[in-house]
Structures are given as structure tokens and as C-alpha cells.
Amino acid sequence: MTKQILVTNDDGVLAPGLLALTQEMRKIGNVTILAPDRNWSGGGHVKTLDRALRLREFRLEDGTQAFGSDGAPSDCVALATLGYFKEKFDLVVSGINVGANLGHDVTYSGTVTAAMEAVIAGVPGVAVSLEVPEGHIGQIDFSASAYAASIAVQNVLEHGLPADTLLNVNIPFLKHNEIRGFRITRQGLRVYHSRLDERVDPRGRPYYWIGGEAPTGVVETGTDVGALSEGYISVTPLQLDLTAYRAISDINTWNWQEQTPL
């Protein structure tokens, strides 16, 4: 039975990373594309309930039919899995994102939250992101990322994923033949270098950018950040249960009765 694969992303339906992913996925199954009609990076896990969504048809550079919506990546997955298409999907793959999604990035990331939405809808989800050095100019080579996506997706189609679990795949910025292989990792720690950048508009009123250098990470073996720094593709299983189980017994010892203010 031909596998039905939904492709989405957060860089927008016409982004070259989506085209590269589509061409690779077409070797594995039947591909349907529904992605945002604009860039949604850093947009988080959105469920758009306060407005209606529009969809329209696009053509990718190679002529492939695709659909774009004015919703977030997670909205695109919701539209697709709620029945906008007649297909029942076996898997949702999101990417190839320009920029790694490591550590704390995962709850911000449109790429990863699209895969979360798939999992909530009961469909296995895979997010694929390519580390791209800050300030990189020029065309991006997605071939190693397409390869990584292919291996990950074939594995998920063959083995399935545990309930409420998705795969977060990150590829180092290396040529295909320089990559050392795959590492199954845990989520590492991002270090953000955000700064508040106050400016004044032509009418004398202040406005604020969240500025600063690109985030770095704590390089530690066993983590997503560590794998990339050592030249490996990182595959992190992520779960939607965020419970901090180890904190429960301690918090149970706190005073949860009526108190007078401190």
C-alpha cells in the first residue's frame, strides 16, 4: 500500500527546503503539500480559532502542486488531518528548515510544532532542520538533509513511534560525505543571547526589537547540540508529556494549605 505523506514547513510553501524534502519523500510515498503561504519562523504551536483560514494552490519550482494557507504550520497540519484532503496520512514531515531546532528552540519552532500537531492528530510526525551558520550567504545544499529525512521517515514508517512522540532531526552544516552518521540524542540546552534594542521612529516614538546574537548551545555529548558539533545528524525523540516527574514528590512536601502572606 502506497504511503501517504504530508509535507509542511515553517519557512513558507515556496521555500527551497520544502522542495528538496518533497523530491526525496516522493521516492517513499505519495506526497501532499500544505504549508504556510509566508514565513512563520519562531511562531510557536498555534491553533487559530479566532479567524477563518484561506487556502490557495501553488506550484513548486519543479511544477509540483502544493497548497498554501494563511495559518501557522500547525494550522496547516490541522487542516490536512481534519479532512481538507481526501487522503488519510501515514506520516507528516516538516522542513527542511533553514536553521537548527535544538534545545529550547523546540517549543518556539514552527517546524517542530507542526510535527507536534501531527502527533496530537494521531499521525507520526518528523521535523527536519539544517544547521546554517549565521550570516551564511549563497545557495544552501539540502542533499544531506534530504538523505537524513529519508532515513528517518523510512524508519518511522517501518517501526512506528510511541504514542505522543515525534522525531526532531537536525543536520550539521557539512557536505553529505563529511557527515559521520546518526546519533539518537536527548534535547540539549540552548543559550540565547537576546538583547532589547530600543529605537525611535521618525515621529519620536520608541519601538523595540528583540535583538542580539544568534543563540548558541551547551556542547555536551549525548545531546542534539553535541551531536551536531561532532559532525553527526541528531535524532531526538520528543514527547508531548512535559510533566517534570522528578519534581512531583518534592513539591508534594510544600505547604498547600491556607497561608498568611509571606
Provide Rg for the chain, Cα atoms: 20
Q: Tell me: does residue 42 bind a second copy (CB under 8 A).
A: yes
In what helix (H) or strand (E) does residue 217 lie, and over which residues does it extend? strand 206-217
- DSSP type of residue 39: -
Cell readout for 134 is 549565521
Residue of 39, 64, 216, 229 interacting with a second copy (CB under 8 A) = 39
Binding mask 166-205 for a second copy (x = CB under 8 A): -x-------------xx-x-xx----x-xxx--x-----x
How many of the other CB atoms lie within 10 Å of CB of 154? 15
Residue of 92, 93, 98, 116 interacting with a second copy (CB under 8 A) = 116
How many of the other CB atoms lie within 10 Å of CB of 9? 33
Which residues have a Cβ under 8 Å from the Cβ of 245 and sit 6 or more positions away?
none
Q: Tell me: does residue 104 bind a second copy (CB under 8 A).
A: yes
Q: Are strands 30-36 and 4-8 parallel, antiparallel or unpaired?
A: parallel
Interface segment toward a second copy; rule CB under 8 A; list 9-17, 67-75, 125-133, 136-144: 67-75
Residue of 75, 100, 101, 129 interacting with a second copy (CB under 8 A) = 75
Report the nearest approach of a second copy to the CB of residue 247 (Å): 4
Report the nearest approach of a second copy to the CB of residue 187 (Å): 5
Instruction: Decide whether 137 or 247 has the Cβ nearer to a second copy.
Output: 247
